[in-house]
Structure 1
Amino acid sequence: MKTLPITQVIPEVKEKLLNNNRLVLQAPPGAGKTTALPLALLDEPWLKGKKIIMLEPRRLAVRSSAARMAELLGEKVGKRIGYQIKMESVQSKETQILIITEGILTRKLQHDPSLEDVALIIFDEFHERSLHADLSLALALESQAVLREDLKILIMSATLNTSAISELLDHAPIVQSEGRAFPVDSIYLPTHTPQPNKKELPSFVHTLLHGILQKEEGNILVFLAGVREIKAVEKLLNNTKPKDVFVSTLYGNLSKEAQDRAINAPPKGFRKVVLSTNIAQTSLTIEGITVVVDSGLQNVSTFNPFSGMNKLESNFISQDSATQRAGRAGRLSEGKAYHLWHKSKILLKHDVPEILLADLSQMVLELACWGNDEIDTLSWMDSPPSSAINHAKKLLQQLGALDEKEDITTHGIAMSRYGLHPRLAHMMLKAQTLGLAYEASLLAVLVSEKDIYRNAFGSSDMRERVSVLHDVARKVAVDTQFINLKQCQYLLANAKRIEKVQKETIDLEMLGILMAFAYPDRIAKQRYEKNNSYLLSNAKGASLHKSDELFHARFLVISDLDARSKDATIYKAIEVTQTQIEEHLQAQIQQSDEVDWNDEQQRVEVRRVQRLGALPLRETQRMNTSNEEVLDVLLEALGELGLGVLNWSKEALLLRQRVNFVNAHQVGFPDFSDDTLLENMDEWLAPYLSGITTLRACQNLDFYNILLGQMSFEQTKLLDTLAPTKLKVASGSHIAIDYTNIEQPVLAVRLQEMFGTKSTPTVLGGKVKLMIHLLSPASRPMQVTQDLENFWNNTYEEVKKELRGKYKRHYWPDDPLTAIATSKTKKHM
C-alpha cells in the first residue's frame, strides 16, 4: 500500500478528519482511495469502536473492493471488512468497514436516523451522481446537522467539481491526490472517416479490434453502450479471434463468476478483450489493460414525468467520462485510447446527474418517511425537478402512500419497509390480503431485474415468466435454449428474501390483477378488436408487436415500455380481465354521466360511463336530457356546424338582412350577423332548446319569430319604416326589396310599373337610394340605375325601341313621365 499514490495524502486526510466532520477528497483512478484509505483510518481515535460505512455506486464494485480490502488484511470477507447489497449481506459483529450500495444507506438512515454505530460515511465515486447518492448525502447531512454533530462525512471522487461540493458541505476542506498514471496516447477517428452509427458500430469495433490485436500488446478494454452492443461484438469476435485471445463481457446483471472472469487476469498464455458497459469506468481495476477502445456512448434511462414512462437513449458521454475511460489504459504502463469520434466533437464537461433524469417516486416516499415534506430545504447538489416531484406525489397518492395533504399514510410507511419501488411494495401489501404474496414476490423480481428469457425469445407475457420461475423453484425441467437458468435461480433467491413462505401451486389467473395493483396507471385496453394499439389508463398510447402472444388480449397491464415514438412500445405485460378490474379496483373506478355529440346521428347523447382513468369499462344510454351539459354540447355542435345547417325561412333571412342593412348605416338594432349570432347562441337560441337534442329538432324551430323576439315593439315598427320589406310603385304593385347586399339594397321591378316615377325611390328615411333593376315584361334585366331621372331623359329611348320590337302587346309610351304605370298589356289597360 505504501507505493499507492493515495499514501502521500493519507496523513493530511487523517489530520483534516480529526479536526473536521466534513471533507472532500479528489483522487484520480488508480490512486488507491477505494481500498487503501479506509483501511488507513481503522486506528483513528474518533472511530471508538464504531463503523466506517463506504458507499459504492455498483454492486460489482462493492464486492470487489470488499474482497481486495479483506485480502490486504489477510482475512475473509465478513470479518473486519463486510459488505451489503440488495438481497445480500456478508458482515459480522467484528465488521469495522461496511461497504454498501447507496440505497442501503437510505434504509439504514430510515431505521436509525442518528446512525449511532457509525463514525464515518464515505461516499466513493461521488462524481457519478446517482440518485441514491444524492439522496443519501442529503439525509446524512441533515442527520449530522440535527442529531449527530460528531458524524463524519467524506466525499471521494476521481473527477469532481470540488469547489461546488465543498460549498454544499459548508466550505469543507479539500484534499487532492495527484495520483499516478502513465501517459495515454489518445487516437481519434480520422477526419475523412465517418462516425459509425448504432447499426454499423459492432462491425466497426470488430474490425478495429482485429487491427489492434495485430499491432498492440496487452489486454484491451472496450466500452460499449449496452448489453445488446456487447453481445453483437462478442459474437463477431468469437467467430474470428486469434486462438490466444480470451473474450469476456462485463455488465451489471452478470453473475459474480462471470464478472470475476472479466476483472481477473486471463488464463496463462492468453490475452484478454473485455467488452464492458460504463461499469468498468470507475471503482474496478481490470488486470493488465493497455488499450482502451471507447465507443463514446452510454445508455441512459430518462424518465418523462408527463408520460410517466422511461425512455432508454444512447447518448454521448461527457469529457469527465472520456478521461476516466482513457485512464484505464494507463494504470500499469503507457497505453493507448481509441476514441470512436472526431477530435473536433464537443462533449459536455460533466454527466447529467441522475436526479435530473430519473423517476423520483421512491425518493419522495423515502423523504415522506423521513418526515421532510419541504424537499427544497435539504442539501442538494442539484435540486430535483418540480415536474418529477409532482408526478411522484400523484403516483404515491394513487397507491395510497400519501394522503390528500401529501402526508405519509400507514400504508405508505408499510410500503417503505420493503425497500422496493413503491409500485412493487404496494403490490406486495395488496397481495398479502389475498394470500398471493408468493406470486407477487415472483412478479416483483421479474419486473425489477434482468429478464429470464434469452434475446431470441420475444414474448412480452409476464404470466409465462412467472410460470417458468415457479417451475424452476419446483425443480421442473425448463428449456435452457430460451431460458437463462442461472438468472432464474438468482431471481428466486431474491424473491425468497421478499416473501419467505413458498407455495407448491400458484394462482396464475390472479397475476394480472397483482400487476394492476403496481401499475394502475398502465392498465391498457385494446383500442379496436384484433388491433395491436392500446389506450392506457393514464391516457397515453402503446403498441404491442403483432407477432406477440398477447396480441389477442383485450386488457393488459404493462410493466415495461418505452416512449420512443408517439405510441410507446410494450416490452413486458400481462393479461387481465375486465371482471377482475371491476372486482379488485372498484375504488378507482369512477362513474359519470357523459354528454357527447354523435356526429353520425346528428344528436346529443347522454351516457352513464364507468371509467378506470381514461379507460371506458361500461356505458349505458340515458334518456334524461334536462341538464345544462346537454345544452352546452348542443350549442357547441351547432357552433362547429355553422348557421347554414339551420332551416332559415325566407322571412327569417329577410329579417336578418334588413336589420343588418340598418346596422350598416346606423347603430341601434340587435346584431344579426353570422359571427355575432354564432358567438351568442346561448343568449338568443338557448331559451328555445329546452328538451331538444337533435339537429332535426333545431331545424324545425321558427327562426323568424325567435329573432323577432330579440327586438322591442318600437324597434320592429322603426325597422318597417327604415327598411320596409316591400315598396309600393307607381303601378300600385308592392315590390319586395332585396337587402342581400347590406350596403346597397335592390328593387327589381318591371320598367312599365315605374312610368311616371320621376326620382329614385329611397329607404332609411331617404338616406339610401335603391338600386333599381328595370326588367322587361319577361322579368329580364334591361337596365340598372340609381338615377331614374337620368334614365328617362337619356336612355329610355334606346331601351323603348328594343322593347317595342320584342313585346309588341305591351304599352311603350313616348313620354314615360306622363304615362300611366301598368303591369298589364295594352289589351287589358
Structure 2
Amino acid sequence: MQTLPITHVLPKVKEKLIHHNRLVLQAPPGAGKTTALPLALLDEPWLEGKQIIMLEPRRLAVRSSAARMAELLGEKVGQRVGYQIKMESVQSKATKILIVTEGILTRKLQNDPALESVALIIFDEFHERSLHADLSLALALESQSVLREDMKILVMSATLNTAAISTLLDNAPVIESQGRAFPVERIYLDAGTPQPTLKTLPSYIHKLLLKLLAEEEGNILVFLPGVRQIKAVEKLLNESRIKNTYVSTLYGNLSKEAQDRAIKAPPKGTGKVVLSTNIAQTSLTIEGIKIVIDSGLQNVSVFNPFSGMNKLESKFISKDAAIQRAGRAGRLSAGKAYHLWHKSRILQKHDTPEILSADLSQLVLELAQWGNDDINALSWMDTPPITAIHHARTLLKQLGALDSNGHITSHGEAMGSYGLHPRLAHMMLKAKEMDLSYEASLLAVLVSEKDIYSSAYTSADLRERVITLHDVAQKANVSSKYVDIKQCRYLLENARRIEKNQTSTLHTEQLGILLAFAYPDRIAQLRHRNKGTYLLSNGKGAYLHSDDTLFNSPYLAISDLDAKSTNATIYKAIALSLADIETYLGTETQERVTWNEEEARVEVRKVERFGKLTLKETQLKSTDSPEVLEVLLDEIEALGLNILHWNKEAKKFRERVNFLHLHDESFPDFSDENLLDTMDKWLAPYLQNVTTLKACRNLNLYNILLGLLSYEELQKLNHLVPAKHKVASGSQINIDYSDPQQPVLAVRLQELFGTHDTPAVLGGKVKLMLHLLSPASRPMQVTRDLKSFWENTYDEVKKELRGKYKKHYWPDDPLEAKATSKTKKNM
C-alpha cells in the first residue's frame, strides 16, 4: 500500500482504539483517511468475527471508496470490502468493511439496536453534518451506552470542530493528521469586477474556462451550485468545440457509469474539465486536477416549518467548504483556485447543520420507532428546532404513524420498514390495500428523484410522468425530445426495489388519491377559475401557470411546490376528484352558523371540510343549534339595544328602574351596559327558534323586563318611583324619568292651583322638576320650588296668560283657587 499522510498516525489510532471506545480523528483532504484507515484496522484483535461499518454522506463516495479499497486489497467489491446504499447492496459473508450511506445505518440500528455483528462504526466527513449522520450518531451513542459498551465509535473529518465533538463523545481523545497538500494559489475577483449572479454565472465561467484552457495545463474542476448551471456551462463548452478537452459532469442523480467517467483520468493526450456540484468537495479523488474554479455557491434545500414546504436556495458556502474546494487543486502538484467572489467577503466559518434547516418528520418517526420520543434525552451536536419537531409530529399524526400521545402506532412501525420518507411509506401501505402497489412505486420514485422531463416541458402533471415511466418499462416508443430515457430506467430500477411486483398493466384512475395519501396537507382547491390560484388544506396559497395542462383543475394533490410566503408555485401535482377525497381521506362535517348582513338573519349551514378546505355547503332550516343563539346575541350586542323595538311603555319602565337603581344600587340595573352583559339571562329565553332581527323586534320588551322584578321589587318601584303623579285637579300626569338625575313633571299651570309644595318622589327625597305649561301645553316656566313661583313669578305669568287665554280662569290668589283643567264655561 502506498504511503499516505494518514499512515503516520495509524499506530496511534490503533493504540487509542484498543483502550478507548470513542475517538475523534481530524485529517485534511488528501490524507487518505477514507481508504487507508479502515484497511489498516482489518487485523485488529477487537475486530475478530465482526464488521467495520463506515458512513459516507453520498452514494458516489460510497461506491468509489469501496472500489478503491477493494482495488488496494486486490479483490472485487463485495468480498472483504462491500457497500450498501439505498436500493443497492454489494456484500457477502466475507465482508469485513461495509461502507454505507447514513440512512442505511439508521435502518440497521432500528432492526438490531445492539448491532451485535459490528465492532466499529466510522463516521466519515462528519463535518458535513447531514441529518442522518446526526441521527445515526445519536442512536449509536445510546446503543453503545445502554447495550454495547464494547462497540467502538470513530468520528473523522477534514474540517471539524474537534472540541465540540470530543465533548459530545464524553471528552474522547482527539488525533490530528497532517495532509499532503501542495501549495495552491488562491485568486479572487478584482475589486472592480462585479460578482457573477446566478443568471450570469454560466457565461462568466465559460469565458474563464476558455482563457484557462488556452493558457494553463492540467485538468480543471468547476464547482457550481446546481444541475441547471452545470448543464448551461456544458452547453456553452460544447458549442465552443474545444479541442483535446474532455468535458464531464458530476452530480448526485447521474448514472454510476457517468459518475465513474467524471472521476477517472481522461483519455491520453486530452485535458479534462469536470463540472460538479459540491458532491466533489470531499471523499472523492478526481485524478489530475490542477485548477479549481469555485462559484462559491451551493444549492441547499431549506425547510420552512411554518409553510411545511422545502425551498431550494442558492447560498454561499462556508469558509471550511472554500478551503476544501481549493484543496482539490493541490493533491498531486501545485495548483490554482479561482474564487468567484471578492477577497473582502466574510464567509460563515462552518456550514449550517442540516438538522437545523431540514424536514424532521423522518427523524421524529425514527425516534418514535427507537422508543425514545424525548428529543433532549439523546446526544446532539445541535438540538433540533422545536418548530420543526412540532410540524413533524403533526404530520405523522395526520398520516397515522403516531397516536394522540405521540407514540408510534402499528401503522407507523410498518411505515418505518420501507426506508422511505414517511409520506411515501404511508402511500405505499395505503396503495397495498387498494392493490395499486405498482402505481405507487412509480409515484414514489418520481417525487423523490430528479425529474424525467426536461425543464423545457412545463406540465406539472405527475400522471403523465407515471404513464411515460410505464411506457419505458414496457419498451413502448417514447419520444426523447422532452424525456430523459436514462433517468426513466434508473427510476424503474428503484421502483422495483420498492415493489418487486412490477406489472404490465397500469391503472391511472386513482393516482391522484395515491399522491393525496402522501400529501394530505397539500390537497388544493381551485379558488378562482382562469386565475390558477389554489387554497391548500394546510391553509397556504398556491399558484399554477396558465399554460399548464392541469390549469383549472378543481382539485389537486401536490407533491412539489416552493415555499413562497404568499402563493407558492406548483411544480408537481395530480388532479383528483371530490368523490375520491370524500371516499378515501375522510372529511369532517360540521354545522357552521353565520350572520347574513344583507338579510339581517342567522344562517345555519352544513359544511363538509377537509383541513382548511370547504368542499360542500348546504343551508339548513334547523335552528336548534346553541350557536344560532350565540350569533344572534353577538349581533344584537354589536348593533346595540336600540336595534330592538322599545315601545313607550317599555322605555318608561326601564327609566323608572334605572332611576331607582341610581339611588339604591341593590335595586336591579336596566342600563344598556348591564342589559347587554346579561342578555343570556333576560333575553335569550325569548329567542328560541328566532333567527332574524325582524323577529327580535316583535318581542314585548315591557313584559320581559317586568318579569325580571320580584313582587316586592315591583311594589317598591310603584311606591317610590310612581309612573304618574295625581295633581290638584285630579289628573294623573306621567312623570318623565329619562334623566335619572332629575325626573320631570310637565303639567298645565291651572291644574296646580291650591298646591303649596313641589311634588316629590323617592319618599319625598327627590323633588320633581316642574315644567309649567299653558292651556295649549306650551312651556311657560320651569321650577323645582313651586312655593317661590307662586310668591315671586306667578303675577307676571298671570298677566301674559290672561291676555292669551281669556276663556281660562286666572285667579289673583292661586293658592286659594280651585285647580282645574277646564275653561271658565265648564267650571
Q: Residue 631 of structure 1 is aligned with which of 625, 629, 632?
A: 629
Which residue type is aligned with residue 301 of structure 2?
V
777-786 vs 65-74, greater mean Cα deviation? 777-786
316-325 vs 160-169, greater mean Cα deviation? 316-325
Task: Evaluate the alpha carbon distance shift between residue 699 and residue 543 of structure 1 in structure 2; reply closer, same or farther with a 3 A threshold.
Answer: farther
Matched, 1:42 2:42: yes
Matched, 1:710 2:711: no
> What is the match of residue 497 of structure 2?
497
Which residue type is aligned with residue 526 of structure 2?
Q
> What is the match of residue 421 of structure 1?
421
Which residue type is aligned with residue 555 of structure 1?
Y
77-86 vs 633-642, greater mean Cα deviation? 633-642
Q: Deviations over 1:264-318 (max 9, x none)?
A: 55667776665543333322334425344343554232141x5433344444444
> What is the match of residue 333 of structure 1?
334
Task: Evaluate the alpha carbon distance shift between residue 334 and residue 196 of structure 1 in structure 2; reply closer, same or farther with a 3 A threshold.
Answer: closer
Residues 178-217 of structure 1 mapped to structure 2, 5 A cutoff = 178-182=178-182
Deviation at 1:138, TM superposition (A): 2.1
Deviation at 1:464, TM superposition (A): 0.9
Contact 1:62/1:83 (8 A) holds in 2: yes
Task: Evaluate the alpha carbon distance shift between residue 161 and residue 749 of structure 1 in structure 2; reply closer, same or farther with a 3 A threshold.
Answer: farther
Q: Deviations over 1:243-283 (max 9, x none)?
A: 77766544322333444454455667776665543333322
Matched, 1:33 2:38: no
Contact 1:669/1:711 (8 A) holds in 2: no
Deviation at 1:343, TM superposition (A): 2.9
Gaps in structure 2 of 5+ consecutive residues: none
Which residue type is aligned with residue 396 of structure 1?
L
> What is the match of residue 299 of structure 1?
300
RMSD between aligned alpha carbons? Answer: 4.0
492-501 vs 1-10, greater mean Cα deviation? 1-10
> What is the match of residue 648 of structure 1?
646
Alpha-carbon distance in structure 1 between the residues aligned to 2:780 and 2:786: 13
> What is the match of residue 473 of structure 2?
473
606-615 vs 650-659, greater mean Cα deviation? 606-615
Classify the secondary structure of the residue corresponding to 1:35: helix
Alpha-carbon distance in structure 1 between the residues aligned to 2:235 and 2:770: 93
> What is the match of residue 142 of structure 1?
142
486-495 vs 148-157, greater mean Cα deviation? 148-157
Which residue type is aligned with residue 563 of structure 1?
A
269-278 vs 103-112, greater mean Cα deviation? 269-278
Which residue type is aligned with residue 369 of structure 2?
C
> What is the match of residue 670 of structure 2?
672
Task: Evaluate the alpha carbon distance shift between residue 8 and residue 773 of structure 1 in structure 2; reply closer, same or farther with a 3 A threshold.
Answer: farther
Task: Evaluate the alpha carbon distance shift between residue 115 and residue 700 of structure 1 in structure 2; reply closer, same or farther with a 3 A threshold.
Answer: same
Deviation at 1:205, TM superposition (A): 6.4
> What is the match of residue 176 of structure 1?
176
> What is the match of residue 22 of structure 1?
22
Classify the secondary structure of the residue corresponding to 1:340: strand
Which residue type is aligned with residue 715 of structure 2?
K
Alpha-carbon distance in structure 2 between the residues aligned to 1:189 and 1:723: 95
Deviation at 1:643, TM superposition (A): 2.7
804-813 vs 251-260, greater mean Cα deviation? 804-813
> What is the match of residue 542 of structure 1?
542
Gaps in structure 1 of 5+ consecutive residues: none
> What is the match of residue 453 of structure 1?
453
> What is the match of residue 132 of structure 2?
132
Deviation at 1:515, TM superposition (A): 1.9
Q: Deviations over 1:353-381 (max 9, x none)?
A: 22233333323333343344455433332
Classify the secondary structure of the residue corresponding to 1:46: helix
Which residue type is aligned with residue 291 of structure 2?
T
Matched, 1:361 2:361: yes
Q: Deviations over 1:686-708 (max 9, x none)?
A: 22222333333222211222122
815-824 vs 259-268, greater mean Cα deviation? 815-824
Deviation at 1:465, TM superposition (A): 0.9
Alpha-carbon distance in structure 1 between the residues aligned to 2:813 and 2:30: 121
Contact 1:737/1:748 (8 A) holds in 2: yes
819-828 vs 326-335, greater mean Cα deviation? 819-828
Residues 215-234 of structure 1 mapped to structure 2, 5 A cutoff = 221-231=221-231
Classify the secondary structure of the residue corresponding to 2:435: coil
Q: Deviations over 1:652-694 (max 9, x none)?
A: 2333333334434441222323333222222112222223333
> What is the match of residue 343 of structure 1?
344
Classify the secondary structure of the residue corresponding to 2:300: strand
Task: Evaluate the alpha carbon distance shift between residue 580 and residue 19 of structure 1 in structure 2; reply closer, same or farther with a 3 A threshold.
Answer: same
> What is the match of residue 657 of structure 2?
659
Q: Deviations over 1:219-261 (max 9, x none)?
A: 6555444344545566667667977776654432233344445
Deviation at 1:12, TM superposition (A): 1.2
Q: Deviations over 1:498-529 (max 9, x none)?
A: 12222222111021222233233333333456
Deviation at 1:575, TM superposition (A): 1.7
> What is the match of residue 695 of structure 1?
693
Deviation at 1:769, TM superposition (A): 5.4
Contact 1:731/1:821 (8 A) holds in 2: yes
Contact 2:535/2:542 (8 A) holds in 1: yes
Task: Evaluate the alpha carbon distance shift between residue 313 and residue 754 of structure 1 in structure 2; reply closer, same or farther with a 3 A threshold.
Answer: farther
Alpha-carbon distance in structure 2 between the residues aligned to 1:184 and 1:784: 107
TM-score (norm 2): 0.87
Alpha-carbon distance in structure 2 between the residues aligned to 1:97 and 1:498: 26
Contact 1:210/1:241 (8 A) holds in 2: no
> What is the match of residue 551 of structure 1?
551
> What is the match of residue 66 of structure 2?
66
Contact 2:299/2:312 (8 A) holds in 1: no
Which residue type is aligned with residue 333 of structure 1?
A
Percentage of pairs with the same residue: 68
Deviation at 1:461, TM superposition (A): 1.2
Alpha-carbon distance in structure 2 between the residues aligned to 1:116 and 1:516: 40
Which residue type is aligned with residue 626 of structure 2?
E
> What is the match of residue 81 of structure 1?
81
Contact 1:762/1:769 (8 A) holds in 2: yes
Deviation at 1:721, TM superposition (A): 4.3
Classify the secondary structure of the residue corresponding to 1:460: coil
Which residue type is aligned with residue 98 of structure 1?
L
Matched, 1:508 2:489: no
Classify the secondary structure of the residue corresponding to 1:13: helix
> What is the match of residue 686 of structure 1?
684
Alpha-carbon distance in structure 1 between the residues aligned to 2:776 and 2:234: 96
56-65 vs 331-340, greater mean Cα deviation? 331-340
Classify the secondary structure of the residue corresponding to 1:439: helix
Contact 2:595/2:631 (8 A) holds in 1: yes
Contact 1:597/1:604 (8 A) holds in 2: yes
Alpha-carbon distance in structure 1 between the residues aligned to 2:476 and 2:792: 114
TM-score (norm 1): 0.87
Deviation at 1:571, TM superposition (A): 2.1
Matched, 1:116 2:116: yes
Task: Evaluate the alpha carbon distance shift between residue 526 and residue 747 of structure 1 in structure 2; reply closer, same or farther with a 3 A threshold.
Answer: farther
Which residue type is aligned with residue 484 of structure 2?
N
Alpha-carbon distance in structure 2 between the residues aligned to 1:535 and 1:550: 15
Residues 510-659 of structure 1 mapped to structure 2, 5 A cutoff = 510-527=510-527, 532-585=532-585, 588-618=586-616, 622-659=620-657
Deviation at 1:542, TM superposition (A): 3.3
Alpha-carbon distance in structure 2 between the residues aligned to 1:765 and 1:198: 91
Contact 1:749/1:775 (8 A) holds in 2: yes
794-803 vs 107-116, greater mean Cα deviation? 794-803
